[in-house]
Amino acid sequence: MLKDDLAKLLKLQEKDSQILDQETEAGDIPEKLKERQDILKAKQEALHVIKKMAEDAAKEKKLLELDVDSKNQAIKKLSGQLNDVKTNKEYSALQQEINHAKEDVLKGEEAIIEKLMLDDDIKLKLTKGSEEVKAEEAKLKAEEEKLKAEGKQLEEAVKTEKAEREVLASAVEDKKLLARYEQIRANAGNGVAAIAVVNHSCGGCGTMLRPQETIEIHKFTHIVECEDCGRIFCG
Ligand SMILES: [Zn+2]
């Protein structure tokens, strides 16, 4: 009887929609994982920038230290020469040179202190950045395990449900009706081909039905498809 077949079709539809939902959910897993991976990548890149800053700062500090060292040696050398000069003019010129070098040393030492303060700041950022990367790595690992388990679970559920849908499908006696259902389902955007009348409207597209149409549908003498969306009315 058509009425029975349509009722079976509605059950089959329910199962097919469930399968589609689960397949969609399983399909979303790689993207979810990628979102987490991208977050980790961004944190790793930020940490890399800080590390580079730390390296550059260390290099600059080293250069400043070398400069101060060489200036100090020059001062020592010039100071030694003070005893050997013959004229006042030479003496004051040398003294001036020493004073210049001393000023440079002072400036260099100030710059080193500045770098040291900056160093502390970078070190703090480095610690914070490393901790964030570690935390994100742990999150990713947990998420990977969770999603892997979810994926496996969905895969198994879909397998079982597909077997169940085969039983439901074979129970539909009118094979032409079944073929029509499959055809509509393949073309329908959301995989829905069998629907019921809901509040005097098509349960698929919401189009209001004429009273006569509703009566026709509920006579179950022939298959009625929605004039708008083409889906099969099952009751
Ligand atoms: Zn419709």
Number of structural domains the chain divides into: 1
Question: Separation of 204 CA from ligand 1 center, angstroms?
Answer: 5
In the chain, what's the furthest Cα-to-Cα distance? 130
Cα 164 → chain centroid: 35
Concatenating the DSSP letter of every residue in 180-196 gives HHHHHHHHSTTS--EE-
Ligand 1 center–CA 4 separation, angstroms: 21
Rounded to the nearest angstrom, the distance between the alpha carbon of 22 and the centre of ligand 1 is 24
Say whether pLDDT at 188 is over 90. Answer: no
Is residue 189 predicted with pLDDT exceeding 80? no
Residue 164 lies in a domain: no
Q: Is residue 117 part of a domain?
A: yes
For residue 14, being part of any structural domain is answered with no
Cα-to-centroid distance, 229 and ligand 1 (Å): 4
Q: Which two tokens mark 101?
A: 């070098």
Mean pLDDT of all residues in 65-76: 97
In a domain, 52, yes or no: yes
Supply 2's token pair: 């058509």
Q: How far is the CA of 197 from the centre of ligand 1 (A)?
A: 9
> pTM here?
0.74
216 CA distance to ligand 1 centroid (A)? 15
Q: Is residue 93 part of a domain?
A: yes
User: Measured in angstroms, how far is the CA atom of residue 16 from the centroid of ligand 1?
Assistant: 18
State the distance from the centre of ligand 1 to the C-alpha of 20, rounded, in angstroms: 20
User: Token digits for 190?
Assistant: 């959301």
Instruction: Inform me whether the pLDDT recorded for 230 exceeds 90.
Output: yes
Task: Judge whether 74 lies within some domain.
Answer: yes
Q: Is residue 121 part of a domain?
A: yes
CB under 8 Å, gap of 24 or more: what pairs does 146-153 form?
A: 147/29, 147/32, 147/33, 150/29, 151/26, 151/29
Domain holding 88, by residue range, is 27-151
Whether residue 61 is contained in a domain is answered as yes
92 Cα to the center of ligand 1, angstroms: 104
- Residues 105-124: what's their mean pLDDT? 94
Protein residues placing their CB within 5 Å of the ion ligand 1: 202, 204-205, 226, 228-229
Is the predicted pLDDT of residue 178 greater than 90, yes or no? Answer: yes
Neighbouring C-alpha atoms within 13 Å toward the C-beta of 116? 8
Within 10 Å of residue 195's Cβ, how many Cβ atoms?
22
